[in-house]
């Protein structure tokens, strides 16, 4: 009985790996198509887009809280945007330690270009799969995310610590 369940688990794992390698990789390429044109990761584009929508309002710490990530991860992305001259940091006149992130004209152009390309790719994806299928898939992903959040899991390391130890049945 235990050998049968282990075999079923191995088959499920093989299907998971196959799906990950092809489907999730494709989805990742789909959402990052526009950002690659500007040599940005999709995550860095999302940061650029956030700054574009709220130029001058947020600091790095604000962005880290909004994106639910570490300040060091945001700092690496900001460094990329600064080097590409897509954002600048304005010193707060009331507290010189505080720096607000502001979009530059080049950053606004990149944001608009990436947003347009991503929108076009998504529209194409909808014509291929249909709106109903997209809604079903997004509902499942949201349910998966809610379940993880309910468990207090914010990433793979949290997931590993939350799962019970491996047991043979």
Asked which of 73-77, 115-119, 136-140, 155-159 is least confident by mean pLDDT, the reply is 155-159
Question: Phi then psi for 77, rounded to 5 degrees?
Answer: -70, -40
Looking at residue 157, its pLDDT comes to: 47
Number of neighbouring beta carbons within 10 Å of residue 60: 19
Looking at residue 169, its pLDDT comes to: 39
Could you tell me the residue range of the domain that residue 144 belongs to?
131-169
Looking at residue 7, its pLDDT comes to: 87
Residue 82 has pLDDT above 90, yes or no: yes
Tokens 């044109």 belong to: 37
82 and 136 together in one domain: no
103 and 159 together in one domain: no
Contacts 24+ apart (CB under 8 A), 152-159: 154/68
Residue 65 has pLDDT above 60, yes or no: yes
115 and 138 together in one domain: no
One-letter-per-residue 3-state SS of the chain: CHHHHHHHHHHHHHHHHHHHHHHHHHHHHHHHHHHHHCCCCHHHHHHHHHHHHCCCCCCHHHHHHHHCCCHHHHHHHHHHHHHCCCEEEEEECCEEEEEEEEECHHHHHHHHHHHHHHHHHHHHHHHHHCHHHHHHHHHHHHHHHHHHHHCCCCCHHHHHHHCCCCCCC
Residue 47 has pLDDT above 60, yes or no: yes
The two tokens of residue 71 are 């300040």
Domain count, the chain: 2
Rounded Cα distance, 152 and 162, in Å: 8
Residue 88: CATH number of its domain: 1.10.10.10
14 and 70 together in one domain: yes
125 and 152 together in one domain: no
120 and 152 together in one domain: no
pLDDT tens, position by position, 108-151: 999 999 999 999 988 988 898 899 998 998 898 889 888 888 88
Asked which of 3-7, 45-49, 141-145 is least confident by mean pLDDT, the reply is 3-7
Residue 154's pLDDT band, with cuts at 50, 70 and 90, is low
Mean pLDDT of the chain: 85
138 and 118 together in one domain: no
Looking at residue 159, its pLDDT comes to: 44
């Amino acid at each position: 009985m235990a050998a049968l369940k282990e075999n079923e688990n191995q088959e499920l794992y093989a299907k998971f790996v196959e799906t990950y390698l092809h489907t999730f990789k494709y989805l990742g390429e789909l959402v990052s198509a526009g950002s690659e044109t500007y040599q940005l990761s999709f995550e860095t584009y999302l940061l650029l887009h956030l700054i574009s929508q709220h130029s001058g309002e947020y600091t790095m710490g604000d962005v880290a809280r909004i994106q639910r990530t570490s300040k060091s991860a945001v700092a690496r992305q900001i460094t990329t945007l600064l080097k590409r001259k897509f954002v600048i940091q304005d010193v707060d006149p009331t507290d010189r330690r505080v720096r607000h992130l502001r979009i530059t004209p080049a950053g606004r152009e990149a944001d608009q270009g990436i947003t347009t390309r991503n929108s076009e790719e998504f529209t194409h994806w909808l014509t291929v799969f249909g709106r109903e299928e997209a809604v079903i898939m997004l509902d499942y992903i949201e349910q998966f995310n809610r379940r993880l959040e309910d468990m207090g899991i914010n990433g793979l390391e949290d997931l590993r610590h939350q799962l019970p130890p491996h047991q043979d049945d």
